[in-house]
Structures are given as C-alpha cells and as structure tokens.
Amino acid sequence: MAVSVSLTRFAGDLRMANRATGTIQSYVASARRFEEFLGHDLAEASQESVRRWVDVLREQAIGASRLGQHYAALKFLYARTLGQPEKVAWITIPRAKAPLPSILARVEIQRLLAGFTNAKYRMFFTLIYATGLRISEASLLETSDIDAMQQVIHVRNGKGGKDRLVPMSGKLYGLLRAYYKHEQPPKPWLFASKSGKPITLETARRALLCASAVSGIGKVVNPHLLRHAFASHLLESGTDLRKIQIILGHESIQSTQIYTQVVPSQIAAVRSPLEDLPE
C-alpha cells in the first residue's frame, strides 16, 4: 500500500512540532497500521472506525505505555494534522505507573566501567555516568561542545529540541583529553563509528551489555541506569533537587523527585522504631 497524503502530512507535522525521531517513527508506524486496517485514506475514517481500531488495540497484549503511544498518535493525527478533533475527542490516554528505577552502587559502577575492553565505549559510558546524559545526547556530542574554560558540556537538541549545559569535572576533562589524544575520532564527533559518523547506539548498547556480563555485578545494565545512578549519587551527596532537574533536562520537577524515593543510603539511615523498644 503506497504512502497516503495523510501519512506524509502527519510525518511533516510531527517534525514541525519538533518531536523526537523515535516518537515520529512510532507515531507514523501506528498510523500506517490504522490505515491498513481501514483500507483507505486516514482522512476518510469515521469516528466509529476509530472506535473499532481502539477496540482492536485494547484486545492486544500491550502495556499501558505502548497503548498510550497509539492513542497519542491518533489524537495528534486527527486533532492537528487532519483538523477533525471530534473523531478522537473521546480518547483518554492511559497513564502508565512508572516503576522505581534500579540504582547501581558506586562500586558496581566502578566494576562495570572496568569491564569494557574497548577504550571508546568505556569513555562513552563513563561520560554518561559523569554527566547524566541520555545515550542519544552523548552520541551526538561534538568536540566544540566541550567547554574547558567554563567546565561545562553543551548539549544540543536534547529531548524536546532543547539545549542545556551539564557540568564537567576536572577528572572527566582529563579522561576526555586522554581518550581524544589516543583515539583521534574524525571531526567533528567526540565519539564516532568506523564510517566516520556518530557512534551507533545499538553497537554501544551491545558493548554495555558485554561489559555488565564481564563485570560480574549480576545485573543487566542499560544506558538509562547510568543516568539514574548519576542522579541518585548526586542526591546522596546533597546536591539540590532543582539543580539535578536542570542538569538532567527534566521538564518537570516531578520527574526528578522519583530519585528521592530510591537513594539507598538515605533510606537505610532512617532509624527503625524497633531500635527504641526495651529489650
């Protein structure tokens, strides 16, 4: 089935709205599935057709988060691209209950980073732990983003297309200089693949999985766990929650407050009332 005019416009509107590449791909794929279900252009769907499609989605074994993506795609498509908001006004996007993030201890971070056999990937994930960057943000860093004078790293086009600054310690800067001198990646990238393009996320994730296996920490580690560790370790050290929010690039302080629930040392330090009972 050829790509319809509605799908083409939909993708263009998502880009204009500055949605992340992954979001655009997910939304367009969802809309394409609906169009295949309809058998005709999306603009010609009735509200009843939309309701039948939603019933099909609800019958599938998918989580609330993925279901919410399908619903959000429908609402953007009809309310904004096609100008037919009445067809989706009744849809309520389900809220997925966010699980508490798993937190790696400092000693586990140390063992994990020692598990890398490739210097480039060790430096890449050291940087993520040291700054709290998302893997996609770290992969697109250029050498010009490293500001040694101000001791910060410029993050360009982060989530939501926003720029921000993250702190760069003297230790991190020293490691980056040593890495760059040894690796000499092709300009302008700080981390590049053999093709001269930015580092491939899938390859980086595989390297991280191998390192976690070699480290013997007994946990399957993904890049976001290093971001979580960065935030929780800052909080453990007494860093203000508002500063952590800004560094992480969270839109709302509520996204950052989840770390107040998972700092092990602070929780362990709470004195149990059992201790005060007489023997």
Say which of 52, 75, 80, 250 is annotated catalytic. Answer: 250
Say which of 134, 154, 156, 205 is annotated catalytic. Answer: 134
Note if 154 is an active site residue. Answer: no
The pTM (predicted TM-score) of the whole model is 0.64
Note if 70 is an active site residue. Answer: no
Note if 134 is an active site residue. Answer: yes
The CATH class, in words, for 5-87 is: mainly alpha
Note if 159 is an active site residue. Answer: yes
Note if 224 is an active site residue. Answer: yes
pLDDT in tens, 80-137: 999 999 999 999 987 766 666 678 999 999 999 999 999 999 999 999 999 999 999 9
In the CATH scheme, what is the code of domain 106-267?
A: 1.10.443.10
For every residue of the chain, DSSP letters joined together read -PPPHHHHHHHHHHHHTT--HHHHHHHHHHHHHHHHHHTS-GGG--HHHHHHHHHHHHHS---HHHHHHHHHHHHHIIIIISS-GGGTTT--PPPPPPPPPP---HHHHHHHHHT-SSHHHHHHHHHHHHH---HHHHHT-BGGGEETTTTEEEE-S-GGG--EEEE--HHHHHHHHHHHHHH-PPTTBSSB-TTSSBPPHHHHHHHHHHHHHHHT-S----HHHHHHHHHHHHHHTT--HHHHHHHHT-SSHHHHHGGGG--HHHHHTSPPGGGGS--
Query: What are the domain boundaries of the chain?
Result: 5-87, 106-267
Say which of 70, 122, 227, 233 is annotated catalytic. Answer: 227
Say which of 162, 171, 224, 243 is annotated catalytic. Answer: 224
Query: Considering only 13-22, 151-160, 172-181, 252-261, which range has the smallest mean pLDDT?
Result: 252-261
Query: Considering only 2-6, 134-138, 190-194, which range has the smallest mean pLDDT?
Result: 2-6
